[in-house]
Amino acid sequence: MNSSPHSPIIQRFFDLMEGKDKRLVAEVFSPDAVVTDDGHTHRGSAEILSWLGGDASEYEVTSTWISSRETGTTTAVTQLLEGNFPGGRVQLVYTFEVDAAGLIEALSIVAE
């Protein structure tokens, strides 16, 4: 089942992640947001900007939506990524928490 996330800010996150300038993605996060990716936690704008400029932009990838599920303020999105990273293919689950202002306050990315 292919579907897009219900929250516009989550759609914006994925749209911006497809672009070349990953620093623009920082705009969708609250100032004190927390991102956990590949076992590493990045807290606040400065660390998230560092993550976006490093691990999050290191490889060229294409993504395919698998599914999304929303429960309250939590949205889980499953995507298939293929690219020039080790292994070349991985299915990831992105779990987002959105704050009252409509910004992402927490993001966890794990391989399924």
Which residue type occupies 21? D
| Domain total of the chain | 1
Confidence (pTM): 0.87
Q: Which domain holds residue 80?
A: 8-111
CB 71 within 8 A of CB 7: no
- pLDDT grade for 84, boundaries at 50, 70 and 90: confident
62 in any annotated domain = yes
CA angle 100, 7, 3 (to 5 degrees): 160
2 in any annotated domain = no
64 in any annotated domain = yes
61 in any annotated domain = yes
Q: How many angstroms separate the CA atoms of 61 and 57, rounded?
A: 9
pLDDT at 4: 55
* 35-62: pLDDT as tens digits: 999 899 999 999 999 998 875 567 778 8
CATH of the domain at 85: 3.10.450.50
Q: How many angstroms separate the CA atoms of 51 and 16, rounded?
A: 14
Place of tokens 């939590």: 74
23 in any annotated domain = yes
